[in-house]
Chains A and B, each alone.
Chain A
Amino acid sequence: MIEVTDLKKIYRMGSVEVAALKGVSIRIGRGEFVGIMGPSGSGKSTLLHQLGLLDTPSSGTIRLDGTDVSRLTDAERTRFRLMHLGYVFQDYALVSELTVKENVAIPAIMQGRPAADCYTDAARVLENVGLKKRLDHLVHELSGGEQQRVSIARALVNRPAILFADEPCANLDTENSRTVLELFRSVNRDLGQTVVMVSHEPWHMEYFERIIFIRDGMLDEDRIAEEGKGGVPLA
């Protein structure tokens, strides 16, 4: 499903080069619920951004569902994101001028499907995340937890191959965080959805099937062996 080989990401800040990823190689199988954890600045979000095609690595290869995405053009990457990937961001990242239903439907509409079908699908997914009564609300009328659930519904509406979540609970209280994590667990178990989630909260570990620890831009092999729930990343 996801095969990453010797992935490096170097940021240039003027004449200074900062290596955010220093050669990461991992493999994630279909239907896994994987957590990427590590301290602040360890490179976990950078890794997720490379996997999710939101950023371009400096070197290394990424294969998603058999496609070498490193070779895709910018337009092809956009298309790949639309057709195969779903995202949940820390700050919900919803479009303020769209209603809840429209926010969820827009990736489906973008695929060229009839708007009525897209709205039906959006309503169904929103019902699954417990927002059936909020379909026509604007996002600013929702609580943080509800907004994040809209974000999850949007990520799921196109039935993506992989769902990426970048610290989705960072702005939520414990109760809402649990709701969101339960949702991820539910779609992973019930739908076989592959989920890759970045988190730095230790109590989130109980939800992950497997954990990839990152430290200083590299895999934290010792911690993976110790706390990674047995899953050994591809070396």
Chain B
Amino acid sequence: MANNDGGFGVSLYLAVRAIRRGNRSTLLLTILIIALVVVLMNFLGMIISGVVTLYNDQMIDYQYGHVTLEPRDRQAVITGAAGLVKRLKQIPGVTGVTARTSTGVTITNPRNGKFQSKALTAFDPGDEESVTKFHLVITDGDYLSKGDTGQILIGTLLAGNEDESQDKLPSLGGVKVGDRVEVAYSNGVVKTYRVKGTYESLGALIDSSAFITSEEMDSVMHSGDTATEVLVRGSSATSAMELKYTILGYGVDEKVKTWSEKGRGILGDAISSLNLVKNIMTFVALIVASVVVFIVTYINIINRKKQIGILKAIGIRKEIIVGSYLLQVLFQCACGIACGILMLNGISLLLTTYKIRFPMGDLTPMIEYGAVGTSIVLLCLVSVLSAYVPARQVTNEEILDAMRG
């Protein structure tokens, strides 16, 4: 017997009319639920991406640049730092280089006797500006200038507040620009510095640090032409690995690491844990979606059982009837997904305007459209499967049983 019937066209024909003339409130409710599932599946991912981006930006802009050079194995410092900086500046793709020297110190606020043990870092302010952004986040006073001696730049968290209850981290109890602090070096030298400026990057670790110029460090520690690390800035974060190999290609003997290699261990575990939570949430959301779609489709199909019987009786193949229900579900999914993406963007906009503050700064949510795409595919698959089961079940019933409702 020839089979030249309408097939997909009839499924579409029935589906379009069922959507246009069916129960509007059920349709809207289903779309809303699917939209909320899309939000649920992607919200945590959006926050995690925001955290990761924020953390990465903090690492690049204040801690590591795009590439960091460290002393070779069994070496405490990089020797010939000035020459190295000069060579690095000539490498194509390098936009800034700064040599840093760090040493452990104890900083004391003589007014209240509060002290903190910290790593004091020295740099050439001009070079540092080409790599990091401290000069852009000065909250009071001034950034360091080349040749500054007897002056120190302090993070706001380290400076702290006179009212200890306002401090987020142990501090010096309210140091302000112009105040004096005492710095005790490991070689026994104790020197008083004037606070030239305070900065606030919003990163907790970064804002509890202190900086002086290389000349000042050299005058106390006689560090000479050495550095504990050299930071390099390239054209973009994503090309850091390429930059690393370019630098290695120029015969640099020091250990060369990208910002992501440097930062991997610190937040990596936390990100892994958050991603696990995100995957669990996605799984739960998918189950919720499949159960909801199953229930809605099942009720819908049970209510239309008689009509399914009628359609079968007049010669419509059950595959076509099932197809019409699947198309209806796909339509609901498409609308729900579109609404969900709009909601996600709305939430993202809201959280960008009213920022969430994290220990490393203000978070800007980042919608990962790759992950959203995956969740859409999964949601569609689950929904279609959830609709197929009851639709197939009812269309497999005997015609007369179905027509009795």
Contacts and interface: CB of A to CB of B under 8 A. Distances in A.
A and B found bound together: yes
Interface of A: 49, 54-55, 75-76, 78-83, 85, 87, 89, 93-98, 102, 106-107, 109-112, 115, 138, 154
Contact of B310 (A94, A102, A109): A94
Contacts of A83: 315
B48 to A, nearest CB: 44
B400 A55 contact: yes
Contact of A111 (B4, B17, B18, B22): B4
B400 A78 contact: no
B314 A97 contact: no
Given A55-B400, A78-B312, A112 B17 contact: no
A93 B313 contact: yes
Given A81-B314, A93-B313, A98-B17, A106 B22 contact: no
B307 interface: yes
Interface in B172-194: none
B89 interface: no
Contact of A97 (B3, B4, B7, B17): B17
A106 B314 contact: yes
B5 A97 contact: no
B205 to A, nearest CB: 63
Interface string B5-47: 1110110011001101110000000000000000000000000
Contacts of B315: 78-79, 81-83, 85, 107, 110
Given A79-B315, A85-B315, A138-B21, 13 more contacts: A55-B400, A76-B1, A78-B312, A81-B315, A82-B314, A93-B306, A95-B14, A96-B307, A97-B18, A98-B21, A102-B17, A110-B6, A110-B314
B310 A93 contact: yes
Contacts, number: 83
A54 B399 contact: yes
Given A54-B399, A96-B307, A81 B313 contact: yes
A49 B404 CA distance: 13
A112 B6 contact: yes
Nearest to B319: A75
A82 B10 contact: no
Nearest to B2: A79
A110 B316 contact: yes
A54 B400 contact: yes
Question: Which 10 pairs from chain A and chain B are nearest by CB?
Answer: A82-B315, A81-B315, A97-B21, A93-B310, A112-B4, A97-B17, A54-B399, A112-B5, A97-B18, A112-B6
A47 B259 CA distance: 82
B5 A49 contact: no
A55 B9 contact: no
Contacts of A81: 313-315
B300 to A, nearest CB: 12
How many chain B residues sit at the interface, stated as a range, is: 20 to 34
B135 interface: no
Interface in B280-336: 306-307, 310-318, 320
B398 A95 contact: no
B10 A109 contact: yes
A54 B20 CA distance: 30
Contacts of A89: 310, 313, 403
A87 B314 contact: yes
A55 B398 contact: yes
A108 B306 CA distance: 21
A10 to B, nearest CB: 15
Nearest to A73: B1
Contacts of A115: 13
A87 B320 CA distance: 20
Given A106-B10, A112-B4, A95 B307 contact: yes
Nearest to B314: A107
A83 B3 CA distance: 11
Nearest to B3: A79
Contact of A109 (B6, B22, B307, B312): B6
A56 B398 CA distance: 9
A63 B21 CA distance: 40
Contacts of A109: 6, 9-10, 13
A8 to B, nearest CB: 17
Given A79-B315, A82-B314, A93-B313, A49 B400 contact: yes
A115 B399 CA distance: 26
Contacts of B17: 97-98, 102
A222 B399 CA distance: 34
A115 B10 CA distance: 10
